[in-house]
Amino acid sequence: MERVRKETDSLLLNEGQALGVLLGAYSLELQFAVRNISNAVNASRVAFATADAATPPDQANQWSGPLVDVKSDAQVAMDGAATAMRDTERHSKSLLRQAKSTAELALENHAEELSRHTGDLSGSVDAAKAKLETTLERISTQNFPANATVVVDSKAKKDDTIARMTEVETFIKSAQAVSQAKIAAAKDKVDVGIAKADKELAGKVGDMVMKLVGQEHTELQKLRGNLAPTAISKLHDARKSVPKRAVHPYKTGGEKKLKAAL
């Protein structure tokens, strides 16, 4: 049984580490998506301010018209992206917690199946979860790429403020869409990865359970084999120890009367 427990501990630890690697990569993708939109918001603000500062004097004080409208649209797009960035950061943390919970539940469920044959495995599950946690933390912090400088690549002329403001609006909307798409893709990827890991773990646990059941059956057969001769031997001993009763010859009625007359 000690060998079986070691195999079980090793199986759960390995799965915990594998799930930690998967979740660590997921965490990196989520962080990267959030940072991308953050960089885009900062870059768009710089481009907006630069374009606004370069506005020709005869257009700078307009209260209405195409320039005012496009500046307003760009400002709204930047503000919306900034809000989305904060929401995305919170949402990403929630997504990671959900994925981590799903992975841990897979470990718990399969360990429970094994525990029916090996005894309590709560300590092994805790160790596997800890392995998952440390692996996730290591990958998501040590492997995060350095921040890069992001700028709005402007094709418009310096004095064409309308075109430059339009570029800012287009840039930030595109960056926001890309960030959201990457988060959705990362979620799909980790969901598939956890489901695959769960299926593989189920197969390994199933094989181990079948092996344990076979061993239990073999041990039971051995026990029954040892008990049978012992039981038969005890039965023979019991028969020998029963005292034999004296057997008297059968007497007929006539013999009984004759004996009485005498």
* Domain-embedded: residue 261: no
- Extract the tokens encoding 189: 């990827």
What is the predicted pLDDT for the residue at 184?
A: 94
Closest CA to 40 of 113, 148, 139: 148
How far, in Å, CA of 262 to CA of 255, rounded?
11
What is the predicted pLDDT for the residue at 146?
A: 75
Number of domains in the chain: 1
* Domain-embedded: residue 239: no
99: three-class secondary structure by DSSP: helix
> Which residues touch 18 (CB under 8 Å, ≥6 apart)?
197
Closest CA to 88 of 20, 208, 175, 197: 175
Q: Determine the angle formed by the axes of helices 2-53 and 122-142, rounding to 10 degrees.
A: 30
* Domain-embedded: residue 231: no
* Domain-embedded: residue 151: yes
* Domain-embedded: residue 152: yes
What pTM value is reported for the model?
0.75
Q: In the chain, what are the helix, strand and coil shares in percent, each to the nearest 5?
A: 85, 0, 15
* Domain-embedded: residue 21: yes
How far, in Å, CA of 155 to CA of 184, rounded?
31
What is the predicted pLDDT for the residue at 223?
A: 72
* Domain-embedded: residue 81: yes
How far, in Å, CA of 36 to CA of 17, rounded?
28
Q: Determine the angle formed by the axes of helices 161-241 and 2-53, rounding to 10 degrees.
A: 170
How far, in Å, CA of 118 to CA of 108, rounded?
14
- Extract the tokens encoding 139: 């990958």
What is the predicted pLDDT for the residue at 227?
A: 57
Give the structural domain span for 171.
2-209
One-letter identity of residue 113 = E
C-alpha to C-alpha distances, 51 to 150, 154, 157, 165, nearest whole angstrom: 17, 10, 10, 7
How far, in Å, CA of 122 to CA of 210, rounded?
21
pLDDT tens by residue, the chain, 262 residues: 677 778 888 999 999 999 999 999 999 999 999 999 999 999 999 999 998 888 877 776 777 888 889 999 999 999 999 999 999 999 999 999 999 999 999 999 988 888 887 788 899 999 999 999 999 999 998 877 777 778 888 888 888 889 999 999 999 999 999 999 999 999 999 999 999 999 999 998 888 888 877 766 776 777 776 655 555 565 556 555 555 554 455 455 555 544 554 4
Residue given tokens 């307003």 in the structure block = 72
* Domain-embedded: residue 128: yes
Q: Residue 93's CB: how many other CB atoms inside 10 A?
A: 14
What is the predicted pLDDT for the residue at 44?
A: 95
